[in-house]
Amino acid sequence: MPRIQSNTDEMLSGKLELYHLLDEGRSAAKAERKRPYADVFNDIEQDIADGDLARKNTL
């Protein structure tokens, strides 16, 4: 029985941590402290298309 309890505790702990991180990210996005994932990747894709990323890596 202790092993089952341990696995359950680990799963619950992991879920709580995930929920905390998701809430933290949501709050940061609302406060405009962080940018949404889609915006960041759109900028990266645009840099690649423009050739800017290759230049930045050679500096």
Query: pTM of whole model > 0.85?
Result: no
Closest-CA residue to 34 (of 45, 42, 26): 26
1 neighbors 9 (Cβ within 8 angstroms) = no
Structure tokens at 52: 């800017």
Tally of domains in the chain: 1
Structural domain span for residue 54: 2-58
Is the confidence at residue 15, as pLDDT, over 60? yes
CA–CA separation, 46 and 53 (whole Å): 9
Q: What is the pLDDT of residue 56?
A: 55
Who wins on pLDDT, 48 or 1? 48
Q: Are 36 and 42 in contact (CB under 8 A)?
A: no
Q: What pLDDT is stored for residue 17 in this prediction?
A: 92
Whether residue 52 contacts residue 59, with contact meaning beta carbons closer than 8 Å, is answered with no
